[in-house]
Amino acid sequence: MSRSSRAVVTLPKTAKQGEVFEIRAIVQHEMESGFRHTEQGVRVARDIIREFVCTYNGKEVFRSELHPGIGSNPLFIFYAKAEQSGSLEFKWTGDDNYLTIVKQTITVL
Amino acid sequence: MRLLGQLALLGLLLAAPIFSYADSRISAYTLMSPSNQAMQNDMNLNPAMFWIMDGEALWADRNNPSNKACVDCHRDAKQSMKGVSATFPKRVQGKLLNLEGQINQCRTTRQQLPTLAYESKPLLALSTLIAYQSRGLAIAASRDSALEPDLQKGKLLYFQRMGQLNLSCAQCHDERAGLKLAGSVIPQAHPTGYPIYRLEWQNVGSLQRRLRNCMSGVRAEQYAYGSLELSQIELYLMQRANGMRIESPAVRP
Amino acid sequence: MNQRRFFITSLTTLSLSPWQSASATPSEAMQAMQRIVGNRPVNTGRIYFDLPPLVENGNLVAIKIAVQSPMTQNDYVKAIHVIAEANPLPNVVSCYFTPLSGKAEVSTRIRLADSQKVWALAQMSDDSFWRTSVDTVVTLSACTEMI
């Protein structure tokens, strides 16, 4: 049973062949760093997203390894080259069985 | 030549009143870095967007004894809630209510649900959703004469020294706005963007949370969440900021 | 009074300074870069690293990193790493690109515990390395929360 949360991905619906287009991906996650303490002095356990991968028709376009130094609600703005129409998949995995997957299609003209 | 000089001076004196009518009130938005301003402006980048989405889910939630969701009375929040947060706090059935108070009143009377605690996720989600619908509109503080005693009390509290540091809100935010406190510029303290995503909190929070921050900042015992005093201070602040543009949900450092 | 206690305990309360543990030192940051680079030489420059020189709050700092590259199968940027000298952990994020990325450019938001030097280290497809750094001052807002 995995935990999941909201993710918002923004990319154009269409792109010209060969065009490099921008993708924005933001996911709702507190990214508990593991360095905070409660009022009683007890450390709050680390709970972060560890990896984010974007694939385009199954081929990797962008991947990132996240550490506690990434801010809450991690945002990545990156790029991809339009080759063929198809779908992009965005996957976030992290501590405590965290998994969120979002898919979006693109039409390449 | 002397006459010309005198005419020029006269012209300047006549022009001066026009300049003094200019609104000298400015939002703390102007004090932020361009990158934080961009974070606020673009809802695609604004962390508060997730609270708005949570709010939209709650708006349609019928899981309560009355089987009624907000949407059943208020329909689409984008239409019905437009301009609503701009008018709070105000008198509702004889009671001074801020937006959170109004939300809780609806929950208890219409949905038979218990009140939501201040700074709880659901209450922040709903207040952020509602306040967002007033983004870009002017604060329209209520002109209800029945509010006068609360307004005067709020004003009194604003000008009253408090805490171990023995400072009043006015001493920092009226007299010393624009000057620096520990490296940060003191803002005029207009509540144009609440609820805010405060980077300091890594969370969305209400105006009352921020006011309690201020009180702890001067080492004063904080008024309780939902207290009449905090609502009265909110009322005075909104009246003081009347007409200013709403930025909710704002981003602040 | 009781109401206040209730609200306080119902929140996840935190200490005033979230980064109370010992922070990394410049040498730990160098070690972190060493682990990535190994024995290979590192050139200076070539990377566009946008990090504000003055940060109002270190909890969420927007950064942008870009490396000019044709991004072809024979010549592309494989990875960009961000290393912070004074965070509790030096490694902040590692971003991996492919020729399909089109551009070796990424924007994200990081945490900075203190005023410090932050490094961007790029690894090219021919396993050459480039790096650049930005010095930043991190401030805290006044009237921070007291629980």
C62-91 per-position pLDDT tens digit: 999 999 999 999 999 999 999 999 999 999
Q: Quick check: A74 and B47 in contact, CB under 8 A? A: no
Q: Where are the beta strands (DSSP E) in chain B?
A: 90-92, 95-97, 180-181, 184-185, 196-198, 203-205, 251-252
Chain C 65-104, residues with CB within 8 Å of chain A CB atoms: 71, 82, 84, 87-89, 91-103
State residue B181's pLDDT score. 85
Set out the domains of chain B in order of their start, with CATH numbers: 28-33+141-252 (1.10.760.10), 49-132 (1.10.760.10)
Q: How far is CA B241 from the centre of its chain?
A: 9
How many angstroms away from the CA of A108 is the closest CA of chain C?
14
Check whether domain A7-108 has CATH 3.10.129.10, yes or no:
no
> How many A/C residue pairs have CB atoms within 8 Å?
117
The verdict on whether omega for the bond into residue B89 sits within 30 degrees of 0, i.e. cis, is yes
CB spacing of C93 vs A20 below 8 angstroms:
no
State residue C143's pLDDT score. 65
Q: What are the extents of the domains in chain C? A: 25-132
Q: Is B161's pLDDT higher than 80?
A: yes
Question: Measured between CB atoms, does A79 come within 8 Å of chain C?
Answer: yes
Q: How far apart are CA B166 and CA B186, in angstroms?
A: 17
Place B13 in a pLDDT band, splitting at 50, 70 and 90. Answer: low
State residue B99's pLDDT score. 97
Q: Is B218's pLDDT higher than 80?
A: yes
> Chains with ≥3 Cβ pairs under 8 A against A?
B, C
Cβ of A81: how many Cβ atoms within 10 Å?
Answer: 20
Q: Which fold has domain C25-132?
A: Immunoglobulin-like (2.60.40)
How many angstroms away from the CA of C15 is the closest CA of chain B?
12
* Cβ-Cβ contacts under 8 Å, A39 against chain C: 8, 13-15, 147
Mean pLDDT of C35-49: 95
Q: What is the pLDDT of residues A9-41, one digit of tens each?
A: 999 999 999 999 999 999 999 999 999 888 888
How many angstroms away from the CA of A74 is the closest CA of chain B?
9
Residue of C nearest to B217 (CA): C143
Q: How far apart are CA C130 and CA C36, in angstroms?
A: 12
SS3 B122: helix
Q: Is B21's pLDDT higher than 70?
A: no
Q: What is the pLDDT of residues B135-144, one digit of tens each?
A: 999 999 988 8
> How many A/B residue pairs have CB atoms within 8 Å?
17
How many angstroms away from the CA of A2 is the closest CA of chain C?
23
Q: What are the extents of the domains in chain A? A: 7-108
CB-count burial class (<10 Å; 0-12, 13-18, 19+) for B168: middle
Question: For the whole model, what pTM was predicted?
Answer: 0.85
CB spacing of B44 vs A24 below 8 angstroms:
yes
Of the partner residues C3, C11, C141, the one whose CB lies closest to the CB of residue B119: C11
Question: Measured between CB atoms, does C147 come within 8 Å of chain A?
Answer: yes
State residue C4's pLDDT score. 53
Here the ipTM equals 0.96
